[in-house]
Amino acid sequence: MLPQKIRVKLSSEAAGAISLTPVVSRELAIADLLEEVLAVTGKDEPRIRDILQRGTLVTGASRYRWQGWEPDAESLRQALAGFPDPDPARPFSPAQCVHAALRGGRQTVELARETAAHHGLFRRTSFWDVLMRLLAADPPPYSGYSYRDRADRYRRELAAAERDQLRSAARLLRYSSLRQRIEAEGFTEVELTVPR
């Protein structure tokens, strides 16, 4: 049987010359702790069991510590069954997509839908519209489920002509810094996030 709640000590792992960060102790529901673990491991039962036994997890700039314990296999499987599994059969849904990342250059260009879908005062088309039209012609394949984002991921290489269209469409973006990054970066693919 898994405990319902775990007392967790939470501290920051942020890099710094000399930094003292307070350790916060709080009760965490087992489902919330498992969600943090899944964001790191996916549904890899042996790794999850090992982390629960060790009683420590580092994710992002946070370190979680608790009194480790040996979870019984059946209870752990039942708890994990409550979380989604990757589903490669799920088709890409442009209407549900909330985030795109242009990858392959020196840096990733992150595009939230609300930023990229902004229509100017006299514009009928947004950068997001252009991107979704390109992807509708050749939908991206499924690339996995992100427990951190609670979303399905899709990834597709972009042809040279598609990259040129996106660079041209960058003029539709509201923020000049974002526009300049898209025009300058040597991106080759797009990764998309669709919440489930």
pLDDT, one tens digit per residue, over 136-160 is: 999 999 999 999 999 999 999 999 9
C-alpha to C-alpha distance for 193 and 33, rounded to whole angstroms: 23
pLDDT, one tens digit per residue, over 18-50 is: 556 678 999 999 999 999 999 999 999 999 999
> Predicted confidence band at 128 (pLDDT cuts at 50, 70, 90)?
very high
pLDDT, one tens digit per residue, over 70-101 is: 999 999 999 999 999 999 999 999 999 999 99
Q: Long-range CB contacts (< 8 A, 24+ apart) of 152-157?
A: 152/86, 152/87, 152/90, 152/193, 152/194, 152/195, 152/196, 153/191, 153/192, 153/193, 153/194, 154/92, 154/191, 154/192, 154/194, 155/189, 155/190, 155/191, 155/192, 156/189, 156/190, 157/188, 157/189
